[in-house]
Structure 1
Amino acid sequence: MDILFVGKGGDCRPLLAAAIFNHLAPCHCKARRIACDRDEPPSPAALALLERQGIRPGPTTAETPSAAPRAGDVVVSLCSTHVDHPCPHHAGTPLHVRWAVQDPLRRHLFARRADGELLDVYHILRARIERLLPLLQPGSALDRAHLESELHRLGRFLP
């Protein structure tokens, strides 16, 4: 099962989420990230944060918007836009959830607070992913409906 973290191009949240997931996940699970629009270079601040945490970022480019989820994939939208805003990867996806988290680098383009908020976002995503991983273990007795329910619950979890 792959987890696809979706966000806008240049968004630090999918980069952080995919890197954290791949750092912590067992070998049978993998995370990818997809840009809803064009891909932009990753944030140097996000790359530096991952390096300080001892996490390799993986590919520095996101998959293109045309990269369709495969059957069995879980799509996690990290956009903080209004819930009615359609995610281009929602249609036809068997399991899609939204983990809305503010993008600190877009909110504070020139403010020093962005680094502190970036670390907050890192901790939120890491806590959610740490709670997600036991649900994905082989032999886990969760059916799709229960997994979806748990994923929605995790999308509201704050450490």
Structure 2
Amino acid sequence: MHILFLCTGNSCRSLISEAVFNHLAPPGWRALSAGSQPAGRLNARALQLLAKKGIPTQGYYSKSWDALPVTPDVVVTVCASAAGETCPAYLGPVLRTHWGVEDPSHVVGTQEDIDAAFDKAYTILRGRIEAFLALPLDEMAGDRARFKAELDRIGALLPA
């Protein structure tokens, strides 16, 4: 099963999601990330954060949703539409859900403020991915309505 984490730039939140998901996922489940308007480069702070957490990023790059090697089964948008950011709408016969997260790369302030924003985004995304992977995935794959409901519920989760 292929999961696509999608945002606009594919440099930060979708990268973090892809890397964390692939680090934690069981065999047969694989994440990709892409952007509707890819930045063409990965965010250096996101890469540093993932390295600090022991999550590999080798081989990842900022890419367009037009250049995917496979058609995803599930698309998770991670842009923060509540903040006025436009979420790309992936077209195709896929299960879609939205897990909005504020973009830490847009935070302006002290080094501590910026680090805190990246840590918050990572914590939210990792918590949601862990909740996703805790689902009875074999059962869910055969029940699209239930799977969609669970993915939407997870998208509303915030860190404790």
TM-score higher than 0.5 here? Answer: yes
The alpha-carbon deviation at position 95 of structure 1 amounts to 0.7
Return 5+ residue gaps in structure 2 as ranges: none
Distance in 1, matches of 2:45 and 2:7, equals: 17
Assess if the C-alpha contact under 8 Å between 1:39 and 1:64 holds in 2.
no
Q: Secondary structure at the match of 2:38?
A: coil
Structure 1 stretch 12-21 or stretch 76-85: which is displaced more? 76-85
Distance in 2, matches of 1:136 and 1:111, equals: 42
Assess if the C-alpha contact under 8 Å between 2:140 and 2:147 holds in 1.
no
Per-residue CA deviations over 1:41-89 (Å, capped at 9, x if unaligned) read 111111111111000024331332313662x610000111258946241
After superposition, the CA RMSD in angstroms is: 2.3
Distance in 2, matches of 1:127 and 1:42, equals: 22
The alpha-carbon deviation at position 132 of structure 1 amounts to 0.2
Structure 1 stretch 77-86 or stretch 129-138: which is displaced more? 77-86
The structure with more helix, counted as a fraction of residues: 2
TM superposition score normalised by structure 1: 0.86
* AA matched with 2:88: C
Map of 1:19 onto structure 2: 19
CA gap of 1:39–1:141, structure 2 versus 1, over 3 A, is: closer
TM superposition score normalised by structure 2: 0.86
Assess if the C-alpha contact under 8 Å between 1:41 and 1:60 holds in 2.
no
Distance in 2, matches of 1:136 and 1:29, equals: 13
Map of 1:8 onto structure 2: 8
Map of 1:75 onto structure 2: 75
Assess if the C-alpha contact under 8 Å between 1:75 and 1:93 holds in 2.
no
Matches within 5 A, 1:8-157: 8-67=8-67, 70=71, 73-82=73-82, 85=86, 87-89=88-90, 91-108=91-108, 111-112=110-111, 113-135=113-135, 137-140=137-140, 143-157=143-157
Q: Secondary structure at the match of 1:11?
A: coil
Structure 1 stretch 130-139 or stretch 92-101: which is displaced more? 130-139
Distance in 1, matches of 2:129 and 2:148, equals: 14
